[in-house]
Amino acid sequence: MAWLTDVHIHLSDSEYSGDMGYILTAMDKMKIRACCVSMDNASSKSTLDLSRRSPLVLPFIGIHPEKANDDLNTMVNLITQNSSNISGIGEIGLDKTYVSDESGFSRQVQVFQEMLLLAEKLNKPVSIHSRKTLDEIFSILPSYSLKGVLLHWFSGSKAQLQKAMELGCFVSYGPAVLYAGDKQVLLSETSLDKILLETDGPVRFSRCFGLKTAQITFLPSVLFCAANILKKTYDEMLLIVEKNVDSYLGV
């Protein structure tokens, strides 16, 4: 049986701590793996701890743009010391909504570039946050030779999607694709070999999800929706995304 992978979820978030035993059991029973991304040094350490509890947790560690003022040297050391144990580097990226001036954004760029440099050196894939900064990210990425690049929760324009495809990036779609027409259009125009799926939990989704905290168990619904949009069977879509995940992770 093929495995389904949530390529972007914050399982180390405190929102999940009380239910982790049930979550790991559900992942095992439902054949779901998780690329568990981190926000900062503290959550990265929690992610590493969680990955020791289950081989289904694929640890990604790094500094999110919201946490750009976190200690960069400590993170570099943490990544370097755990390079043989981590699956990738993330969540990293840029986001101007978290800063009030150019110096704040410059700090984000500095941290992002340092994370990309490490990913290149260690041959690790990256999970990138790109809200309203896709053009800036597109200008930076060609300077690095990266194993696998994911633009998670892709929400750019059709032109930006085409640019992402030209750069060889993967893009991921989450629970919002069940009800958001713009996401459905983007998915339909994404190269089949670059589609990945995520939940981005513990983000809350509206409509049919009733603003409940996203669970990794939402993922089969996302897969089913993607299959319908792309006129594939569930099993066909499962095999497509499984192959794409292996390509992204380099396994």
Strand partners, 92: 128
Report the distance separating Cα 16 and Cα 55, nearest Å: 18
Q: Is 81 exposed, middle or buried (0-12, 13-18, 19+ CB in 10 A)?
A: exposed
Give the Cα separation of 109 and 98 in Å (integer): 13
pLDDT at res. 151: 98
Gap between the terminal Cα atoms of the chain = 17
Query: How far is Cα 95 from Cα 83, in angstroms, rounded to an integer?
Result: 26
CATH 3.40.800.10 is right for the domain spanning 4-249: no
The tens-digit pLDDT sequence of the chain (251 residues) is: 789 999 999 999 999 999 999 999 999 999 999 999 999 999 999 999 999 999 999 999 999 999 999 999 999 999 999 999 999 999 999 999 999 999 999 999 999 999 999 999 999 999 999 999 999 999 999 999 999 999 999 999 999 999 999 999 999 999 999 999 999 999 999 999 999 999 999 999 999 899 999 999 999 999 999 999 999 999 999 999 999 999 999 98
Query: Measured between alpha carbons, how far is 25 from 27 in angstroms, rounded to an integer?
Result: 5
5 φ/ψ angles, rounded to the nearest 5 degrees: -125, 125
Q: What pLDDT score was predicted for residue 128?
A: 98
Q: What is the pLDDT of residue 251?
A: 87
Residues 6+ apart with CB under 8 A from 130: 93, 94, 95, 137, 151, 152, 154, 156
Going from N- to C-terminal start, the domains of the chain cover 4-249
Sorted by sequence, the CB contacts under 8 Å of residue 173 that are 6+ apart come out as 153, 154, 183, 186, 187, 195, 196, 197, 198, 222, 226
DSSP letter at 11 equals: T
CA angle 179, 185, 173 (to 5 degrees): 65
Angle at 250 between CA 245 and CA 251, to 5 degrees: 80
Six token digits for residue 77: 């050391």
User: Can you give the pLDDT at residue 208?
Assistant: 87
